């Protein structure tokens, strides 16, 4: 995993210290940590002004000062004030109010993971790497919550059932190899389905971010 500079925001002191320790043991640099969403925004701004912009921000949702969805709102604010700043939200639940604002800004470098489902350290660290590299990783339960209507409209109506299943796995952060294993398909079959998804969503080969754009289209349209 490429080493990155990370800022951590989490109000539960034991979890915050545990995350900091885990990240540092993995070789990353933790530029700072806080238990307050307002301080998160201010300290990232100060780091940016000092030429030390984090490669990734990892934040909880429910935090002071109001103990509601301050952390998620701070993540949206950070993405507005520092376009392209990778942010991973690590939460106990799916927050409806601002999660679409986070995902719908049209850029990659976002993640939404549920604490109870982070069962393997290696998978968690890979998710951080994916987001830091500009990708999108959304917990399967969050994907199901966002797409709970089950309606497929807009560009997604062009996809076959299998192509939509492949795109769903992509939205969960799965690589082509992961998809091949989970769906019992050959690597070539998965590559073909992924290529068909790109073509049907009008994402051309010269678009270096087309996997991210495909996932964002999925999360935006199928709900």
Cis peptide bond N-terminal to 91, omega within 30: no
Helical H runs in 104-160?
A: 121-132, 140-146
As a whole number of angstroms, the distance between CA 119 and CA 85 comes to 26
Domain ranges in the chain with CATH number 3.40.50.2300: 5-146
As a whole number of angstroms, the distance between CA 41 and CA 114 comes to 22
As a whole number of angstroms, the distance between CA 84 and CA 54 comes to 11
The reported pLDDT for the residue numbered 53 is: 95
Specify the pTM. 0.79
The reported pLDDT for the residue numbered 56 is: 97
Question: Which of 106, 101, 222, 93 has its CA nearest to residue 163?
Answer: 222
Length of the chain: 223
Give the H or E element holding residue 5: strand 5-9
Q: Which CATH class is domain 5-146?
A: alpha beta
The reported pLDDT for the residue numbered 153 is: 59
Averaged pLDDT, groups of 10, the chain, 223 residues long: 87 94 95 97 97 96 93 94 93 78 77 82 89 88 67 76 91 88 93 94 81 82 58
As a whole number of angstroms, the distance between CA 115 and CA 210 comes to 28
Domain ranges in the chain with CATH number 1.10.10.10: 154-221
Give the H or E element holding residue 171: helix 161-171
- CA separation, residue 220 to residues 31, 88, 121, 153 (Å): 32, 18, 29, 10
- CA separation, residue 93 to residues 43, 61, 171 (Å): 26, 9, 18
Fold of 154-221: Arc Repressor Mutant, subunit A (1.10.10)
As a whole number of angstroms, the distance between CA 20 and CA 139 comes to 21
């Amino acid at each position: 995993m490429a080493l990155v500079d990370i800022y951590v925001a989490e109000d539960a002191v034991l979890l915050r210290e545990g995350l900091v320790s885990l990240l540092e043991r993995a070789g990353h640099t933790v530029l700072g940590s806080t238990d307050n969403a307002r301080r998160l925004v201010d300290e990232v701004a100060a780091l940016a002004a000092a030429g030390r912009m984090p490669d990734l921000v990892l934040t909880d949702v429910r935090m002071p000062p109001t103990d509601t969805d301050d952390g998620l709102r701070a993540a949206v604010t950070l993405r507005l004030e520092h376009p392209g700043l990778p942010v991973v939200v690590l939460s106990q639940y799916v927050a409806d109010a601002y999660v679409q604002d986070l995902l719908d800004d049209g850029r990659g470098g976002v993640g939404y993971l549920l604490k109870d489902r982070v069962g393997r350290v290696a998978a968690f660290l890979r998710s951080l790497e994916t987001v830091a590299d500009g990708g999108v990783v959304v917990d399967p339960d969050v994907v199901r919550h966002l797409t709970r209507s089950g309606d497929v409209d807009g560009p997604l109506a062009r996809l076959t059932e299998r192509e939509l299943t492949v795109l769903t796995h992509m939205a969960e952060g799965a690589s082509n190899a992961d998809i091949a294993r989970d769906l019992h398909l050959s690597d070539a079959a998965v590559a073909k389905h992924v290529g068909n998804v790109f073509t049907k969503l009008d994402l051309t080969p010269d678009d270096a971010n087309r996997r991210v754009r495909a996932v964002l289209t999925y999360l935006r349209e199928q709900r």
